[in-house]
Structure 1
Amino acid sequence: MYQSNKLSRAVKLAIAAGATATAMAAPNVYAFADEANAEEGVERIQVTGSRIKRQELTAVTPIIEVDAQEFAISGNLNIEQKLAELPSTLPAFGPSSNNPGDGTARVDLRGLGTSRTLVMVNGRRWVPASQSGVVDLNTIPASLIENVEIITGGASAVYGSDALAGVVNFNMKDDFEGVEFSTLYDVTDHNDAEKFNLDMTMGGNFADDRGNAVVYLGYSKRESLMQGDRSFSSVALTESGDELVAGGSSGVPGTRLFAGDVVKADGTVVGTFGPNGDGQAWVEPSSRFNYAPDNFLQLPQERYSASAFSHFYINDEHRIYSEVSFVRNFVPQELAPTPAFTSVEINPNSVFFDAATQQAFLNSGSLNADGNYEGFIGRRMVENGSRQSIDTRDAFRMLVGIDGYINDDWSYDVYYSRSMLDQTNLLNNDVAASRFIQAVLTTDDGTACQDPSGGCVPINIWGEGNISQEAIDFVNVGAANVTSITQEVFMANVAGTTSWQVPSADEAVGLVFGYEKRQDSSSFRPDEFLASGDVLGFNAGEATVGSYSSDEIFMEVNVPLVSGADWAEDLTFWGAARFADYSNIGNVESFATALNWTPTDWMSARFGFQQAVRAPNVAELFQGSANGFPGATDPCSADGFQSGVTDVALCEATGVAAGQVGVFAQANSQIEGSFGGNENLNEESSDTLTVGFVFNPMEGLDFTIDYYSIEIEDAISSYGVNNTLNVCYNIVKDINDVTCQNISRRADGNVSVVKSLNENIGLIETSGIDFNITYNTDFDNGSSLNIQFRSTWLDKFDVTSIAELPDEIDNCAGYFGNTCGTPRAEFQSNTRINWTKDDLTLSALIRHIGSTEDDQIMVANNNNATAPDLVVPELDTKFYLDVSASYNVSDAFKVTGGVKNILDEEPQALGDSQSQANTFPELYDAIGPRLFVSATYTFN
């Protein structure tokens, strides 16, 4: 039997703070033991918040653990929905993220951004799903999860770049014997929006129990639900006066004409058109197009998963292991038909108009030399069908490694992983801008285009339902875009205990040190239509291709300082450092320190400070440029000049003629901007301070209080056109500053184009307190009760998008809206209550989301908005109740069922300050109660 003295050495190493450096849940090389040792009650020791193993309540940084039972009893098919319920996270993209959204599911710790949250599986990096390096949680099989460990706060000294907000680590089942089938069915009380999954896990030992292999196969499907299927979201709401009314888009099926000079003889100002081309008045908001019913409220999804985990003991001291995963994830998005907003030439004599409207065009006085009217229109292309963005992601990952013992005190771990993702994005039912403009300008009789090249087919956009199928076929375009992502990681480390020992301590110093090399590369290659910008319904984009690599060395030290003293049963210092050399940004370093003090057996304290870094990702570095025309004011022009503030000499030095500063008229209210990545970006850095206390006042009861403060400097952001001009001429006033270098002017002094690339210019500060309670007790009747309460009080969340504008701070704690986004309640909590007797478990989850205010009130100094000015100035406190029950029918068969949102708590309707579906559907339940049932059957 392969046991020797391995287990005793495992315990010795764990107690002395030696460990593998692969992550929070390293391969269990230490727990290989026979049944006799298992009977002695020695359990596997988990790593929590450090690569050095330690108990959860004495972790060096605050952690949250979610076990497999929580996923099972809550009926969550999608991982991100369970994580979004935690008070320490801000809901990110998920099943209701249609627009905005990209088909991925994400986690956002502390609301600091998904790219600042590092997601790992078995303590190792997982497959990136986008060029920003974000992991799609859809690629992680929920049925294989053993538990999830969440570390909040900067952790890049231990785990590397991207961990500014923290780490979410999924520990997977990798040592399984038997065959297990599990299934789940979920449906709403409206009998729609079904979810279904079927999983099979099988595994066993081989080679006289020296090895184990586990294979997992999974299939899941989620049906669509349209916003029109719920009364709450069936109409796009807007604010009018003191009430919410039906609103929508100004791009309408009858065509919107943005002009005031086309007036009929009866005084009607033509703003839209009837079915016979008769000009009609535009009436707010009733003339607008209701786009809501054409959007998904729940995105459909189909997923195929296959994973295999194995390990084999070469001998008593060394083990090889491997992981292989493949996931195909199919998620479409659907939007309302293309809104064609563009400038066109209109033939006023076209037969498509009635006589009165023809005359109104002719009398407008706005005809060009060819006798055509030039105007800006908005046409909803309903005849072209809904826009579809269909994403298919194929994710593949393989990992091989070897770990084991060097001697009684030292262990090692070496592995290599390669992750690849291929994404195909199909864009259907878009409209080619050039063909649309060409087809709108027709001959008088409407039978031909004035420019017949390219097989042009005349299009009648003047009235709903007037476009022929032939015209649709001419203007309709689709696009096929391809993204390829590759990540390679090589890691080698050793861990163990030294011979050094502080005289006042009982244990020796523990060390971990190692080397990591990582290579990230990806390419986004858009369709020619998308790349050229010749599209009206989807955002144009250029190719994004790039790569970078890093070589990193890291170390941890665990120094027991005092043991068994009157004032300290234990006092331990922990430290970590990482030094990285990036191919694109050079050398960066991060470090972390913590002091754990246990004065008594019922109370301990932890004090930590960490400095973390995040290297810019491929998207931020190499994103292809795209042009736009936002409204902006040139400080050098007559309208923008501020006497005593604007630098006259700088205006002249950058291209304004002498004597014309503050005099010349800006040619256009919109100024062209060029937006994209920046290869000269540097790393973001953060400082995280944590102060925590752990109390165990009685058996079965413990609670933790942790204060956190995170400050991110040099956050990657962009100036925008208006801020670039303002910062250059009114604030920094330095021709060599990046803002001034990004401004180009024409010969007449007007701004030609402003580059607005990504820059390290932001500052984000957040702080708060986490308060968690766990209580367990047994009753005389053989039943037991478990209560777990988690909560977060958000004290501050301040965002300064541009450091040169320190007075423009968005204080988002307690606010929501178009500036702060998803509501950031000052207090959130959830409480899980489980009662178990014999084979039955009854459970309830109470989720609480505190009230928030519209951020227009927060920025009152800028726009003087007050609560009475707004239709919905505040979102009320919400409580959600989920109930479930689980029963072990036999040792092999287990069933679980329940109802989510059993009280049918509806979201509070919003107008303009919303994300989508008149609310923030990833935070507030917009679908209604869901009923689920799941079953698991195991063959031993």
Structure 2
Amino acid sequence: MSALGRKRGASPFLNVLLATSAIAMVVSAGTASAQASAGPASPEPEATALTEIVVTGSRIRSTGFTAPTPTQALGQADLERNAEPNVFTTIAQLPSLQGSTGATTGTFSTSSGSQGLSSFSLRGLGTIRTLTLLDGQRVVPANITGVPDISLFPQLLVQRVDVVTGGASASYGSDAVGGVVNFITDKHFEGFKANVSAGQTTYGDDKQVVLQLAAGKAFLNDRLHVQVSGEYDDEDGVPAGGFGEDAPGSRDWYTTATLVNRGVTNDGSPQYLYREHAQAYQYTKYGLISAGPLQGTAFDQAGNPFQFQYGSNGVPSKAANGAVVGCYSSGGFCVGGDLSGNVGIGTSLQSEIKRMNSYGRVAYDIDDNNEIYGTLNIARVESSNQPNPGGATTGLTMQCSNPYLPASVVAACAANNITSFTFGTSNALLPNNIAVHPTRTQYRGVIGADGKFAAFGSDWHYDAYYTHGENTTNIHVNNIMLTPRYRAAIQATLVNGQIVCSDPVARANGCAPINVFGGQRPSDAALKYIEPENGPHQHSVQKQDVASINFSGEPIQGWAGPVAVALGGEYRREAYHVQGDPYGDGSAASPYSTDYPADPLLNKAGNNWYAGNYHSGAGKYSVKEAYLEVNLPLVNSDAAGKANLNAAGRWTDYSTSGTVYTWKVGGTWDTPVDGVRLRAVTSRDVRAPNLSELFAAPVTTTIPNFTIPTSTTPPPGQPSGPGALLVLQNVVGNANLKPEIAKNT
């Protein structure tokens, strides 16, 4: 019997009180009868034979072989000791995996769709440079960047996790630049396991219920082996505390911080600085006139104007010409005065998630040395995350005739002989933060055979398999603006004594006006107009097919021991297609057209949403590979110790970029000094471009508050001095990309 506790960053005592008892039962046939009767005395044990082991850092199977590539193994006991609902959380605590992204990790991105995804990043090189395997086999990615979701693996059946912290492309192929994480399942588990836990934090949030079941049994005189497992995980997460720096769940330790780029690289100081409470000076929570003679006029929640106190690193510093100087150059971030809090953020501390997955494996022993098997994995993950508030907007041109504008500001416009001004707001008046809801459904099936046979005077091991996997992702975004409608709604005028939208075309298509001078909540009609119920939507399907065959043996007896060889080949095909909604994609023909009626105000080319402009696209590639690995014993004596040389090479041919070669050379020496081992390895590794990098449809994103430190000529509507403007960035796939080349030593 074992209890599962939860590590939630809160009081361990409370966590234990809130956790239900967990059940961990293993029922094994024959155990009870063996305990009930002492039986005859056991015979003397036979001499223990050296067993062959499979090391993830190498394809070699050999007795007593130690791979030169650094490898760390976590056993089942290590995983159960941490008692985490997601095995990812335990493994990600390793120093080499710092920076990995968990299923409940909040993200500032609306368009990435990475919410609810658990993926590893080895040695800080990123998730796309870490190869994650299940029983030494690739897993269908959970998104088009090629990253699988670890939370969908059969966690109760995981027997061991090998973490290779070195380049392994010569042995395992593309993406193993940072290393390999290989999950090994218990393929002969017999009995029953069940883990049940529930809990919440000391702040009363992130309530969670987890149910995990696994069972296994042998049939037909121990020749047919069946294992099944299932999991259900429901986590409430920790939503944003409100707008800007409001602490989620009253956590008094919570603060906001910004990594600001000084824009200077040659003065001996760091280019990037970590600053708390930094804020861009082009907008405020309830609105700011950011340029012209009325610059510095801000509005409080009630819509009353006041003079904004600019602060530059603690000292107010607005020049006579209107330039805000002394701030951190890139992005225009400042600290001090009324610039005392980043009102442009408000993200979930932990995502809400609901996860269901099932796994089954059936294997049949043809004889004592060979088996055939099949596995099936079906899983579904639903998550929800708040990446940011309503959406900061800068550079707006507002008319002095706007009926929502306070009379004192209208008078100031007349006194300064202007009819409009430049305005920025973080849109705190919008009642709900942007919310992203990805749902992933995954199917993966494997058929294969493994075993050994005799050839060339020695035993050879083999494994061959074919796997097909599909991942379907649907992403829906709520509480997000249609930018053209928002810009129409904030431009108001009086018609027959009624405040209406200025643009008659917008009025004819349902436009309702919004008062952006202050924090007045928009009317229901206005909210429905600028934030329609059907927000950005993306439907994508990704498919992976892999056929692989591998051999390993010891065909030659060398002077210091048997020479071990591993060789094999693999064919892999990756494909995807994605469909976006018409407002974001701009497609004339879309299966979602009825949910997104035509609007003459919107750009027919798409990119109408504040964020989440998903574009349709498709692409595929295939790859053929062959590899050879050799382990040559060099020395094996009491006087000199034991040393071996390990070398591997791989030929890879991509349908998109052609042929590339990878290699690895290393060695180990168990010295005559007890407990002292020396190891060295160097390798040439690759990462092939993923489907997104190759075929992604054009996406236009904004780089807000981009600053030109040396600008003396201001952009239109901006003050002189350092220029601040929004930059549009076009991102598109490139089918001509070549694989990355890495050197690991």
Does residue 272 of structure 1 match 2:299?
Answer: yes
| Structure 1 residue 270 displacement after superposition | 2.0
Distance (Å, rounded) in 1 between the aligned partners of 2:468 and 2:393: 44
Contact 1:278 1:357 in 2 (8 A): no
Aligned to 1:130: 143
Contact 2:189 2:217 in 1 (8 A): yes
Distance (Å, rounded) in 2 between the aligned partners of 1:133 and 1:460: 44
Question: Given the superposition, is the C-alpha separation of residues 466 and 130 from structure 1 closer, same or farther in structure 2, using an over 3 Å criterion?
Answer: closer
Secondary structure at the counterpart of residue 90 of structure 2: helix
| Structure 1 residue 129 displacement after superposition | 1.4
Question: Given the superposition, is the C-alpha separation of residues 38 and 493 from structure 1 closer, same or farther in structure 2, using an over 3 Å criterion?
Answer: farther
What pairs with 1:465-614 in structure 2 (closer than 5 Å)? 465-477=520-532, 478-498=535-555, 500-502=556-558, 504-505=559-560, 507-532=561-586, 534-535=607-608, 537-564=610-637, 566-568=639-641, 570-600=642-672, 602-614=675-687
Residue ranges of structure 2 left out of the alignment (5+ in a row): 1-41, 240-246, 261-272, 311-336, 587-605, 715-720
Secondary structure at the counterpart of residue 480 of structure 2: strand
Does residue 80 of structure 1 match 2:82?
Answer: no
Distance (Å, rounded) in 1 between the aligned partners of 2:418 and 2:477: 37
| Structure 1 residue 400 displacement after superposition | 0.4
Contact 1:215 1:309 in 2 (8 A): yes
Q: Which amino acid aligns with 2:54?
A: V
Contact 1:139 1:327 in 2 (8 A): yes
Q: Which amino acid aligns with 2:297?
A: V
Q: Which amino acid aligns with 2:424?
A: I
Does residue 428 of structure 1 match 2:435?
Answer: no
Distance (Å, rounded) in 1 between the aligned partners of 2:277 and 2:737: 45
Q: Which amino acid aligns with 2:126?
A: G
Q: Which amino acid aligns with 2:422?
A: G
Contact 2:106 2:347 in 1 (8 A): no
What pairs with 1:914-933 in structure 2 (closer than 5 Å)? none
Secondary structure at the counterpart of residue 51 of structure 1: coil
Cα shift readout 1:379-410 (whole Å, capped 9, x = no counterpart): 41543422100111112111000123332522
Distance (Å, rounded) in 1 between the aligned partners of 2:702 and 2:568: 50
Aligned to 1:67: 75
Contact 2:257 2:274 in 1 (8 A): no
Residue ranges of structure 1 left out of the alignment (5+ in a row): 1-34, 264-268, 368-372, 641-664, 690-940
Cα shift readout 1:39-91 (whole Å, capped 9, x = no counterpart): 86558643221111357882221111111211211222223322232122222
Contact 1:633 1:639 in 2 (8 A): no
Does residue 217 of structure 1 match 2:230?
Answer: yes
Aligned to 2:308: 282
Distance (Å, rounded) in 2 between the aligned partners of 1:245 and 1:632: 19
Aligned to 1:851: none
Identical amino acids, percent of aligned pairs: 26
Aligned to 1:232: 252
Contact 1:149 1:169 in 2 (8 A): yes
Distance (Å, rounded) in 2 between the aligned partners of 1:113 and 1:625: 23
Aligned to 2:54: 47
Distance (Å, rounded) in 1 between the aligned partners of 2:731 and 2:562: 55
What pairs with 1:850-929 in structure 2 (closer than 5 Å)? none
| Structure 1 residue 603 displacement after superposition | 3.3
TM-score, normalization by structure 1: 0.60
Contact 1:399 1:418 in 2 (8 A): yes
What pairs with 1:169-568 in structure 2 (closer than 5 Å)? 169-226=182-239, 227-232=247-252, 234=254, 236=256, 252=284, 254-262=286-294, 269-272=296-299, 275=302, 277-284=303-310, 286=338, 294-367=346-419, 373=420, 375-407=422-454, 409-444=459-494, 445-451=497-503, 452-477=507-532, 478-498=535-555, 500-502=556-558, 504-505=559-560, 507-532=561-586, 534-535=607-608, 537-564=610-637, 566-568=639-641
Aligned to 1:19: none
Contact 1:234 1:292 in 2 (8 A): no
Contact 1:237 1:248 in 2 (8 A): no
Q: Which amino acid aligns with 2:543?
A: T
Distance (Å, rounded) in 2 between the aligned partners of 1:401 and 1:615: 26
| Structure 1 residue 669 displacement after superposition | 6.9
Distance (Å, rounded) in 1 between the aligned partners of 2:647 and 2:253: 51
Distance (Å, rounded) in 2 between the aligned partners of 1:140 and 1:218: 10
Distance (Å, rounded) in 1 between the aligned partners of 2:64 and 2:115: 36
Aligned to 1:148: 161
Aligned to 2:268: none
Cα shift readout 1:500-539 (whole Å, capped 9, x = no counterpart): 333x22x332222111001111233322233355445425
1:617 maps to which of 690, 701, 707:
690
Contact 1:392 1:423 in 2 (8 A): yes
Contact 2:707 2:723 in 1 (8 A): no
> How many aligned positions are there?
615
| Structure 1 residue 200 displacement after superposition | 1.2
Q: Which amino acid aligns with 1:432?
A: L
Secondary structure at the counterpart of residue 467 of structure 1: coil
| Structure 1 residue 191 displacement after superposition | 4.4
Secondary structure at the counterpart of residue 373 of structure 2: strand
Contact 1:228 1:235 in 2 (8 A): no
Q: Which amino acid aligns with 1:406?
A: F
Secondary structure at the counterpart of residue 466 of structure 2: strand
Distance (Å, rounded) in 2 between the aligned partners of 1:229 and 1:167: 37
The root-mean-square deviation of aligned C-alpha atoms, in Å, is 3.5
Distance (Å, rounded) in 2 between the aligned partners of 1:669 and 1:472: 27
Distance (Å, rounded) in 1 between the aligned partners of 2:254 and 2:452: 63
Distance (Å, rounded) in 2 between the aligned partners of 1:300 and 1:343: 34
Aligned to 1:96: 105
Q: Which amino acid aligns with 2:542?
A: I
Contact 2:665 2:683 in 1 (8 A): yes
Q: Which amino acid aligns with 1:564?
A: S
